[in-house]
Amino acid sequence: MSEHITQGGGDRLLVLAVDTSTAALAAALVRGHEVLREVQSLAERNHSVHTVSTVQAMLAECGIKPDELDGIAIGRGPGSYTGMRIAVSLGKTLAWVWNKPLVGVSSLEALGYGAWQNANSAGSPADGANVADVFDAADAFDVADVFEIDDASDTAQGASSARHLPDGYPAVPEAGQGPVWLVPIMDARRGQVYTASFAARTEASAEAGALGDGTWKRLSKDGIRLMREWVDELAAAIEAAGECLRPSAVWIAGELELHESEADRLQALCPGIQVRKLPIWLEGRAVAALGAARLAAGESDDVHAFAPNYTQLTEAEVKLQERTAAAKQAAAEGAVQGDAN
């Protein structure tokens, strides 16, 4: 369920954030809106080797002691099965040893929110604006009318520093324009992606209505989908969206290399909507921002029960279930044959 978050409620929280769900080891040490230290290392096969030393180095370089932290934010996935477990295990261990609150955030949400943070800190019309308040669906619109959704996520006060972004990076909407829909994607092989969708609006465009003043809102839950079917679903959702929710642009952000043609197809299906492709990696500062919002709301996760969001069974688990089912079937057939004899 989404929560109302008071703007500025996490302005001075000191948060350690780590995510290992993608090929990029993303970690950050953030106090309020100030990024003290951030690491982004593309070394998927070495996450287990470098994560602990990366955290130790960040704290040492900033002169921060563990007891000064207000909390630990961990990306729970979905994403790489092996990768996710590294950050989750580290977060649980540190939270227990240091006696600090642990908050999990969606890695997909962090990927999408990072793209939004970047646009808000790049000299756009909403330069410096923060995505702060989160509303229940009843406050503005019925999300279920557009997407099938079980619940909303815990999200979002933004902490961002000035960024240098590539030329052509999209600007946030001007006043009077519709919200931007953020669609983060991570490759899940065989034409599939881990994905979700969010709507965002800034203070500069808040007068247009539906999302309220400076808001970020989940539209659909995290899941694994065939990219082709997901594009069709997005196109249908855009067509069904009411005037206040209809996007002025759709930003598809993340691992685009194998899915650019489908992103282009969304543009063809929605000629009146600007579809932008943003090949970016997940950033630790986005995990910290989402985690700070939960901490500011007084939330935390149970350290012992905290687990990755796998979204589907691992290949090993699928094979184990298949073998178990086959063994049960063979045993049942053997029993029937024995009775017949």
In the numeric block, the tokens 């539906």 are attached to 210
pTM of the model: 0.76
Confidence of residue 297 (pLDDT cuts 50, 70, 90): very high
Render pLDDT for 137-166 as a digit per residue (tens, 0 to 9): 223 333 444 444 333 333 333 333 344 444
Among 73, 134, 135, residue whose Cα is nearest residue 107: 73
Q: Given this model, what pLDDT does residue 1 score?
A: 27
Q: Given this model, what pLDDT does residue 211 score?
A: 43
What burial class does residue 332 get, using C-beta atoms within 10 Å of its C-beta: 0-12 exposed, 13-18 middle, 19+ buried? Answer: exposed
- CB 17 within 8 Å of CB 109: no
Between β-strands 249-254 and 215-226, what pairing exists: parallel, antiparallel or unpaired? unpaired
Question: Percent of the chain at pLDDT above 90?
Answer: 53
Indicate if the pLDDT at residue 222 is higher than 90.
Answer: yes
Phi-psi region of 130 (alpha: psi -120 to 50; beta: other; left: phi over 0): beta
Q: Given this model, what pLDDT does residue 209 score?
A: 45
Indicate if the pLDDT at residue 130 is higher than 60.
Answer: no
Q: Given this model, what pLDDT does residue 85 score?
A: 92
Angle of the 47-62 helix axis to the 81-98 helix axis, nearest 10: 40
Average pLDDT for 61-80? 96
Q: What is the Cα–Cα distance from 265 to 276, expressed in whole angstroms?
A: 12
In the numeric block, the tokens 């994403």 are attached to 79
SS3 state of residue 27: strand
What's CA 324's distance to the chain center, in Å? Answer: 34
Range among 5-9, 151-155, 164-168, 322-326 with highest mean pLDDT value: 322-326
Which residues 6+ apart lie within 8 Å of 18 measured at CB?
26, 27, 51, 55, 72, 73, 74, 75, 87, 90, 91, 284, 287
Among 12, 2, 1, residue whose Cα is nearest residue 216: 2
Q: Given this model, what pLDDT does residue 55 score?
A: 94
Identify the weakest region by mean pLDDT among 229-243, 250-264, 286-300, 308-322: 308-322
Render pLDDT for 75-126 as a digit per residue (tens, 0 to 9): 999 998 888 999 999 999 999 999 999 999 999 999 999 999 888 775 433 3
CATH superfamily of 14-296: ATPase, nucleotide binding domain (3.30.420.40)
Q: Given this model, what pLDDT does residue 48 score?
A: 76
Indicate if the pLDDT at residue 64 is higher than 60.
Answer: yes
Instruction: For the chain, give the mean pLDDT.
Output: 78
Confidence of residue 341 (pLDDT cuts 50, 70, 90): low
Average pLDDT for 184-211? 78
